[in-house]
Amino acid sequence: MHISEGVLSAPVLLTGAALTVAGCAVGLKKMDYDRIPQVALLSSAFFVASLIHVPIGPSSVHLILNGIAGILLGFAAFPAIMVALALQAVLFQFGGITTLGVNTFNMAFPAVICFYLFSRGVKHGNAVVALGSAFACGFAAVLLGAIMVAVSLVFTEESFLQVAKLVVVAHVPVMIIEGILTAFCVAFLKKVKPEILGVAHAPIKSR
């Protein structure tokens, strides 16, 4: 879901940069110092997961993990994702420095939305509710991210409409995979370290 440099218009780039700065400011303000290792770990996971990508026009398809990042970090997903994207841009020329703001917002904002939509369901003690919410979180985070990439392209130039549609359709398999991965991660964390999810005692019950 990286948008390459030289594709987006200046207004879109500036808007994305401004929104990302605001999101990172809120994320850093809300982030406790004792959560820095957790943020760093998820930033590293995001960095590694999105290294393997398949180019599609001005964008690309790859694992994102913004759903699980949103569930675990909330607004702190903004600085975590921005650091990972900045390193990818500098080290591997994925995306770019000028598109860093837009790319960060397109991936981090859906993570925050999914945090508020699904975090309560993920914390539920019932297995169906918890894992269903986790799958929906992973699926929706990628779906929203793909839609935002498409909107960024269309706002730049209406001729990108067909490419924008392709970006959304091409990410459908990724949405399903991310939903499964997010559900697996939540199930694992509930068994070994439920406090990470904000639950003191969270055994998954079948009924």
Which domain CATH number covers 57? Answer: 1.10.1760.20
pLDDT for residue 46:
83
Cα–Cα nearest to 41, from 97, 84, 94, 5 = 84
Residue of 56, 73, 160 lying closest to 114 (CA atoms): 73
Tokens of 102: 């837009």
Residue type for 57, please? G
User: CB of 9 within 8 A of CB of 155?
Assistant: yes
Residue 202 belongs to some domain of the structure: no
Residue 172 lies in a domain: yes
Q: Is residue 106 part of a domain?
A: yes
Asked if residue 183 is part of any domain, the answer here is yes
pLDDT at 94: 78
pLDDT value for 54: 64
Q: What is the pLDDT of residue 204?
A: 44
Evaluate whether residue 206 is within a structural domain: no
For residue 57, count CB atoms less than 10 angstroms from its CB and return exposed for 0-12, middle for 13-18, buried for 19 or more: middle
4: in domain: no
167, amino acid identity: V
* Local mean pLDDT, 10-residue blocks, the chain (207 residues): 83 95 93 85 84 62 85 92 91 85 94 93 87 94 92 84 82 89 90 74 45
- Residue 67 within any structural domain of the chain: yes
Q: What is the pTM of this model?
A: 0.85
Of the candidates 50, 18, 11, 35, the residue with the CA atom closest to the CA atom of residue 145: 50
Q: How many domains does the chain have?
A: 1
Task: Judge whether 2 lies within some domain.
Answer: no
User: Which range of residues forms the domain containing residue 64?
Assistant: 10-197
- pLDDT at residue 125, as a whole number: 80
C-alpha 75/C-alpha 185 separation (Å) is 19
